[in-house]
Structure 1
Amino acid sequence: MLLIKSYDRAHRAYQAMVAKGYTGNPKTLTRFNLQAEEYLLSLALILVAILLYIDQRVFL
C-alpha cells in the first residue's frame, strides 16, 4: 500500500511540474564553461582530499 501511495504522489508531483513548464533540461542565464585553471584547481582539491584521507588512515 505504501509503495502505491508513493508512486501516486510522485506521479502527481511530476504532473504538476510539467504543468508549470518543466522539461527536464535546466535553464541558465549564462553558458557554463570550465577553463583549464578551474580543472587544475579541482584536481588539486581532489588530490588534497585523497592525501588527507590516506594520512588519516595511516597514522590512526
Structure 2
Amino acid sequence: MSKLVLGSAAMFMIVLMTKTTFQSLRPRPVMNPKQILLLRGVKRRKAKLTNRRKIGYTT
C-alpha cells in the first residue's frame, strides 16, 4: 500500500516537473490557429453577454 502511494506521488511529481519545464521553455502552449480562433470567439461571446447584462441593469 505504502509503495503504491509513493509510486503515485513520484509520478505526480514527475508530471509536474515536466509541465513546469515545458512552460519555462515555451510559455504559450502550441495550439492550432483554429483552436485559438475558437477560444477568442468564445471569449468575445462571453464579453458580449456580460455587456448586455450590464446595459440591462443600467437601463
Structure of greater relative contact order (alpha carbons < 8 Å, 6+ residues apart): 2
SS for the counterpart of 1:34 is coil
* Structure 2: gaps of 5 or more residues: 1-5, 20-28
Specify every segment of 5 or more residues in structure 1 that has no aligned partner in the other structure, as ranges: 1-15, 27-31
State the structure with more CA Rg.
1
Paired residues for 1:9-48 under 5 Å: 17=9, 20-21=10-11, 22-23=13-14, 24-26=17-19, 33-48=30-45
Q: Give the aligned CA root-mean-square deviation in angstroms.
A: 2.0
What is the TM-score when the length of structure 1 is the normalising length?
A: 0.51
Bigger share in helix:
2
So what's the TM-score if we normalise by structure 2?
Answer: 0.51
